[in-house]
Structure 1
Amino acid sequence: MDYQIQREENWHHVISVHVPPEQVKPELDAKYAELKNIRLEGFRKGRVPTHLVKKMYGKQVEADVFRPFISEAYQTIFKENEFDLLDSPELVNLHFDEQQGLTFEFQFDVRPVIPAPDYQGLSVDRYIFSVSEDDVAQTLEVMRRQNAMVYNVEGEAQAGHFVIADLQELDVSGVPILGQRLEDRVLELKDGEEITAQLVGIKAGEERRVQLTMEKPVESQLLQMQTPQVQQVYYSVAVKEIKERRLPELDDEFAKDMGEFENLQALKKAVLDRLNNQAQS
């Protein structure tokens, strides 16, 4: 096997692969010889003409024979060359000729190399950021979320709650898929998300079927690799517990819990000073 790398663009590559006929043809001949022993009306066993076997099974035989050569080429090429791939390589232009052998191409995009300009002697502007009251408020809100307490919820799940549940993946007809069960998973019911709309109103101890749009790896038989593909996935969700996160009040007690601060005003000043230092660095 030999291959050539063509860089059509800074980011687009084409790799042309050639496998000589003396490697491929014996494999094809052996496959066809096996199939000559099939039972076919009008022919004795082992007497089915080769041209008829090729007509009936040619595409399947070629796929079976070519697959190992393609897989070996893929593994060799992408092990010998460190490409910064942006997507999965695409197999194109697959062709076999008894005189020329097997040829095919891998096409793919890589992260482009952008040459750095000569920046010596250039002047740059330094931006000074001013810290606003909103910045302080947002930081305090993050601190509240980081110190929130979690409580059990009696009743129905709502947006903003957390659901602890066992998940069982199902096929399209609703039959459980063996080996695709997840236990004690925490699901956050965020506003506007697909799963939230389907689980709002459920209670602990109840079970509900949901349908989600998500990426799942799909096996490519020809390349012997997995590629992501968006598809509909079905789950049975058995809810065990429902919880909610309660944020602490933003008051003097909260400030004292955050460190050596006498009151909320002292905490706000410390946050403001820290943000100002970060803005100037």
Structure 2
Amino acid sequence: MERSFNINSPAEFESISLQIELKNINEFTREMNLNISWQALEPDFNASMKRFGKKVKIPGFRPGKIPRDRLLQQFQPNIEAQFMDDNIQKYYLNGLQEKELVPVNQAEISDVHFHFGEHFSFTAKFEVEPEIVLPKMKRKTLDVQRMKFISDQQDMDVAVDQLRKAHARIETVEDGAQEKDFILCDLQKLDDSGVPIIGKKFEKQLLKVGDGSFTDEQKEKLVGLKPGETARINLPDDREKTSSSPYELMVINVEREILPEVDTDFVKLVNPDLDSVEGFRDEVQNKIGENFDSRSQQSFERELTDAMITKVDPGAPPSMVDNYLSN
């Protein structure tokens, strides 16, 4: 009998008496043959048959009240299949627990044998984590360089600007769009002759002057635009920007990001416990230093790990490699 089973790992399962034969196919692959006697599995079979009896209908009997002999006479193969679906995972996990194994992939189930009144046997083939044996090492065995990240004024400027942006306000302006302003607009797609295409109007789109598709020549078409004015622009048809189409842009609003000045009011807004710009900059510098120290430590630990892996040279089960590459 050949069937496919989905083997997962529930948090809890009942222990049961098993006969287990374990084979090491290779360094990572294990083949576990399990055999459960009828005496050990009969309670589980009866439970599966009871659940099955509640789902079927036979004229003259209420669901769940069909005699056992009648169920077996008419539905024995179905009940056997129900039993295997209900219990193969439990027996497999009991086998893993007894042999103290932790698989790294879903088991392949084969050689399934079961009939009413007989033992239940099957084979589970799976992979386990490699056994890593650390060699004896003396001092300076691993050649690892420690990289030190050092901040400069540019890092300070970037950090301060990020805080300013986090507390910026947006204002509607009337003096015409400038680079980095936001334009709220309607976009109407045009055909090659400049005629609007019905059904291709996109309302209330937000564009940033100088970003994305709105750089260089496109940017120049947007600079200076005011509410109610229009411009002819080209937008890409796809992400690869292999082609573009003409659009008519009509400005609804022009919005500008106003960054706060770095003064005492701004410092209080960022951290009420600070009372000076100098104290604010010292705090920012300390946080940058902590961040760079953390990055330096993480870099060192990665280098150390790579050096240790090279030294130990552990293998990896194919399933672990495939899972790593696919994710």
TM-score normalised to the size of structure 1? 0.49
The higher radius of gyration belongs to: 2
Structure with the higher strand share, 1 or 2: 1
